[in-house]
């Protein structure tokens, strides 16, 4: 009996030992498998491509018609809400002809009320006075009001867009096609920087009385205070208008006019990567080119054109009255109220090869990209409404961007010159300006850095103090270039953004 019990205990112990051994082997095998299992590489997160809409720019001396700056000026671009300048041009025509008054009421249709923001938000069946409609387009860039203007003047927005295109042709805007009155996204609605400089000059030249509305800073309507999207008004000396614009496909656009000491320039920037970048580029273009503009001259965009004065340009409501009322302007000649007196011939300018005009019904062979590479701010219409609600940033700096070229000094002059550098610099640098005040020199560097994108991402801004013959200047420079071609490439980018610069050895 005791023997049986002993044997049984021995069997239990042996069995338990075998189970423990097998379990140990299994655990060891699993652990080894986990250690030897190949690790998965961490998933790569795709980086969104930087937002880079197609860029174009142009600056024209309005006194002489001379081109002062041009980049991609004949390339097709989407105008976005800069479109509304042409909408207002046609509205101003009706005011000037007496067919509408500033207190005339425009009716809001169901279609107009349904337009995407930015908008004023009026209900179908309501009305708005013409003067309030003008201010709503200039400040809020209201798409519903733009549509209403088109419908009231032409019966439908489509008919009004066709009229806009005809008017563009009559002004010499040979590559512009309009499909709506607002600038809301449409792949066939295109223009060029060159065409828009013509429009900017024409609207000022023909309608000086109504152009002043583009200077409106704040529009008060129905208990709202609506600020102007154009942040250069009051921040850059001489700027008196005129219109901003944005869609995902167009980028940030700006049409600007500026006057200083008898000089007058109009400038276009299309395809800015942000509102701030666009504004900095425009500020640089104005500062750089204003000094090059003439202080006199009377160049006219209408000098070689025949005015399109068709009766079908009248509002639908007054077309039937034309036979009895008549038209004060002379068909087939310059409008008598547009040009007060004959103007002297414009100064000779370089004439580029003519561009093949686009026709209203023509298909565009090389359609511009309609979808952005990455998500952007709210794209329903003009997204600058969001920018208008943001706090006003610091004023754009107004330091001169005209660089002082190197002076070939005599040996005696070289000995008298002292140069103070606060940092060690690379073999090649970029110089933008030489200022009598260090603060202004730093302002130039700040503006250039903000507008340059990646071109100066690794460059280091610095000022270099120069004392020569009792005069002290501060050079505005960027270090960070080991080779001449890299410095020159970055300088080319800055020039395309409106900054004067040159690459030089340090």
CA distance 352 to 330: 32
CA distance 354 to 11: 107
pTM here is 0.63
Rounded Cα distance, 197 and 352, in Å: 15
Which residues lie across from 285 on neighbouring strands?
Answer: none
Q: What's the rounded mean pLDDT across residues 423-446? A: 82
Return the domain boundaries, the chain: 56-339+376-389, 411-505
Q: How far apart are CA 367 and CA 378, in angstroms?
A: 23
pLDDT value of position 39 = 60
Q: Give the confidence band of 403 by pLDDT, cuts at 50, 70, 90.
A: very low
All residues at 6 or more sequence positions from 273 whose CB lies less than 8 Å from its CB, including other chains? 50, 51, 52, 53, 251, 252, 453
pLDDT average, residue stretch 187-197: 96
- Active-site positions read 81, 84, 141
Model pLDDT, residue 348: 36
Is 450:276 a contact under the CB 8 Å cutoff?
Answer: yes
Say whether pLDDT at 308 is over 90: no
Q: How far apart (Å, rounded) are the C-alpha atoms in residues 463 and 475?
A: 5
Query: Which residue in 352, 343, 354 sits closest to 296, CA to CA?
Result: 343
pLDDT score of 298: 83
Q: What is the SS3 assignment for 199-238?
A: HHHHHHHHCHHHHHHHHCCEEEECCEEEECCCCCCCCCCC
| 3-class SS shares of the chain: helix, strand, coil, % to 5 | 35, 20, 45
The tokens describing 471, both together, are 């005069």
Q: Which residues contact 411 (CB under 8 A, 6 or more apart)?
A: none
Residue 472 pairs in a beta bridge with: 467
> In what helix (H) or strand (E) does residue 93 lie, and over which residues does it extend?
helix 84-96
Which position has the higher pLDDT, 202 or 405?
Answer: 202
Q: What is the 3-state secondary structure (H, E, C) of 258-307?
A: EEECCEEEEEEEEEECCHHHHHHHHHHHHHHHHCCCCCCCCCCCCCCCCC
375 confidence band (pLDDT: 50, 70, 90): very low
- Of 327 and 247, the one with more pLDDT: 247
Q: Which has the higher per-residue pLDDT, 221 or 342?
A: 221
119 annotated as belonging to a binding site for a ligand: no
Kindly report, residue by residue over 83-113, the tens digit of the pLDDT: 999 999 999 999 999 999 999 999 999 999 9
User: 392 or 41, which is more confident?
Assistant: 41
Distance CA 128, CA 150 (A): 14
Q: Say what the pLDDT of residue 457 is.
A: 83
Query: Which CATH code is given to the segment(s) 56-339+376-389?
Result: 3.40.710.10
Beta bridge partner(s), residue 431: 477, 502
Peptide linkage before 13 cis (omega within 30 of 0): no
Q: Report the chain's mean pLDDT, rounded to a whole number.
A: 76
Please, which pLDDT band fits residue 306 given cuts at 50, 70 and 90? low
Q: Which residues of 359-370 are buried (b: 16+ CB within 10 A; e: fewer)?
A: ebeeeeeeebee
**Interval 29-36 mean pLDDT:** 52
d(CA 493, CA 485) in angstroms, rounded, equals 12
Say how far residue 360 (Cα) sits from the centre of its chain. Answer: 25
Q: For the chain, how many residues are written? A: 506
C-alpha angle with apex 174: 170 to 178, nearest 5 degrees?
85
- Please give the helix or strand (H or E) that residue 488 lies within, else none: helix 484-496
Tokens 């750089």 sit on residue: 288
Helix 84-96 to helix 193-206 angle (10° resolution) is 20
Supply 440's token pair.
């202004």
Residue 324's pLDDT is 31
Query: What's the first-to-final CA gap in the chain, in angstroms?
Result: 107
- Structure confidence at residue 47 (pLDDT): 60
User: What are the Cα distances from residue 128, in Å, to 12, 131, 214, 221?
Assistant: 100, 8, 19, 10
CATH superfamily of this structure's domain 411-505: Sporulation related repeat (3.30.70.1070)
pLDDT in tens, 133-186: 999 999 999 999 999 999 999 999 999 999 999 999 999 999 999 999 999 999
pLDDT of residue 315: 65
If one compares 214 and 358, the residue with the highest pLDDT of the two is 214
Average pLDDT rounded to a whole number, residues 275-300 = 91
């Amino acid at each position: 009996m005791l023997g049986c019990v002993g044997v049984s205990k021995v069997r239990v112990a042996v069995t338990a030992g075998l189970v423990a051994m097998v379990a140990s082997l299994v655990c060891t095998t699993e652990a080894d498998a986990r250690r030897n299992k190949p690790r998965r590489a961490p998933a790569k997160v795709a980086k969104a491509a930087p937002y880079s809409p197609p860029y174009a720019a142009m600056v024209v001396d309005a006194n002489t018609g001379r081109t002062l700056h041009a980049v991609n000026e004949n390339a097709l671009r989407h105008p976005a809400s800069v479109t509304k300048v042409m909408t207002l041009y046609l509205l101003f025509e009706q005011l000037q002809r007496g067919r509408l008054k500033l207190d005339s009421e425009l009716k809001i249709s169901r279609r107009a009320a349904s337009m995407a923001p930015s908008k004023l938000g009026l209900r179908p069946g309501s009305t708005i006075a013409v003067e309030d409609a003008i201010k709503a387009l200039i400040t809020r860039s209201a798409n519903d009001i733009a549509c209403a203007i088109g419908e009231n003047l032409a019966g439908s927005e489509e008919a009004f867009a066709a009229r806009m295109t005809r008017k563009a042709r009559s002004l010499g805007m040979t590559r512009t096609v309009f499909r709506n009155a607002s600038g809301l996204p449409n792949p066939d609605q295109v223009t060029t920087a060159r065409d828009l400089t013509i429009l900017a000059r024409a609207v000022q030249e023909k309608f000086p009385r109504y152009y002043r509305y583009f200077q409106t800073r704040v529009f008060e309507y129905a208990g709202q205070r609506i600020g102007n999207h154009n942040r250069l008004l009051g921040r850059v000396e001489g700027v008196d208008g005129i219109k901003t614009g944005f869609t995902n496909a167009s980028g940030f656009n700006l049409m600007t006019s500026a006057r200083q000491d008898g000089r007058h320039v109009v400038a276009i920037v299309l395809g800015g990567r942000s509102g701030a970048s666009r504004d900095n580029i425009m500020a640089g273009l104005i500062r750089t080119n204003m000094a090059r503009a003439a202080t006199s001259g009377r160049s006219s965009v209408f000098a070689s054109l025949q005015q399109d004065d068709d009766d079908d340009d009248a509002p639908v409501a007054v077309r039937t009255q034309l036979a009895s009322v008549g038209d004060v302007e002379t068909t087939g000649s310059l409008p008598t109220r547009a040009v007060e007196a004959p103007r002297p011939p414009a100064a000779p300018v370089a004439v580029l090869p003519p561009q093949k005009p686009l026709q209203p019904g023509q298909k565009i062979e090389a359609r511009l990209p309609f979808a952005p590479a990455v998500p952007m701010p709210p794209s329903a219409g003009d997204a600058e409404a969001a920018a208008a609600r943001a706090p006003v940033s610091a004023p754009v700096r107004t330091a001169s961007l005209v660089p002082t070229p190197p002076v070939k000094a005599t040996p005696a002059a070289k000995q008298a010159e002292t140069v103070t550098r606060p940092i060690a610099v690379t073999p090649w640098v970029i110089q933008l300006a030489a200022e009598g005040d260090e603060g202004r020199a730093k302002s130039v560097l700040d503006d250039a850095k903000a507008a340059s994108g990646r071109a100066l991402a690794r460059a280091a801004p610095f000022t270099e103090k120069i004392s020569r013959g009792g005069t002290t200047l501060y050079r505005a420079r960027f270090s960070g270039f080991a080779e001449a071609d890299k410095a020159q490439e970055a300088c080319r980018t800055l020039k395309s953004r409106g900054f004067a610069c040159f690459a030089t050895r340090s």
